[in-house]
Amino acid sequence: MSYQEFRPGRFNQIPLVVKNILIINVILYAANMLFSNVLPLDKYLDLYFFKSHYFKPHQFITYMFMHSKTDPTHIIFNMLAVYMFGSILENLWGSKRFLNFYILCGLGAAAAQYAVDFYHYREIINSVGGTLSPEMDSQLKYYYDGGGTLGASGAVFGLLAAFAMMFPNTYLYLYFAIPIKAKYFVLGYAVIEFFSGSFGLEPGVAHFAHLGGAAVGAIIVLIWRRNRSNFY
Please state the rounded mean pLDDT for residues 87-93.
95
Is the pLDDT at 5 greater than 50, yes or no? no
Distance CA 87, CA 80 (A): 10
Is the pLDDT at 3 greater than 50, yes or no? no
Distance CA 229, CA 47 (A): 30
**DSSP SS3 for 137:** helix
The amino acid present at 106, given as its one-letter code, is G
| Residue 202, φ and ψ in degrees, nearest 5 | 50, 65
Residue 198 in any domain: the answer is: yes
**197 or 64, higher pLDDT:** 64
Per-residue model confidence (pLDDT) at position 132: 56
Domain around 99: 3-227
> What confidence category does residue 135 fall into, taking pLDDT thresholds of 50, 70 and 90?
low
As for how many domains the chain has, the answer is: 1
Residue 131 in any domain: the answer is: yes
Per-residue model confidence (pLDDT) at position 197: 80
CB-based contacts of 93-97 (< 8 A; 24+ apart in sequence): 95/15, 95/16, 95/17, 96/230, 96/232, 97/230, 97/231, 97/232
Residue 76 in any domain: the answer is: yes
**222 or 203, higher pLDDT:** 222
Per-residue model confidence (pLDDT) at position 12: 55
Per-residue model confidence (pLDDT) at position 232: 46
Residue 15 in any domain: the answer is: yes
Residue 232 in any domain: the answer is: no
Distance CA 93, CA 217 (A): 14
Distance CA 166, CA 15 (A): 19
- How many beta carbons lie within 10 A of that of residue 9, not counting itself? 7
Residue 12 maps to which CATH number? 1.20.1540.10
pLDDT tens readout for residues 18-43: 999 999 999 999 999 998 888 889 99
Percent of the chain with pLDDT over 90: 59
The amino acid present at 97, given as its one-letter code, is R
The amino acid present at 222, given as its one-letter code, is L
Distance of CA 194 to the CA centre of its chain: 15
pLDDT tens readout for residues 144-189: 777 789 999 999 999 999 999 999 999 887 766 788 899 999 999 8
**134 or 140, higher pLDDT:** 140
> What confidence category does residue 4 fall into, taking pLDDT thresholds of 50, 70 and 90?
very low
Please state the rounded mean pLDDT for residues 112-130.
81
> What confidence category does residue 130 fall into, taking pLDDT thresholds of 50, 70 and 90?
low
Per-residue model confidence (pLDDT) at position 78: 96
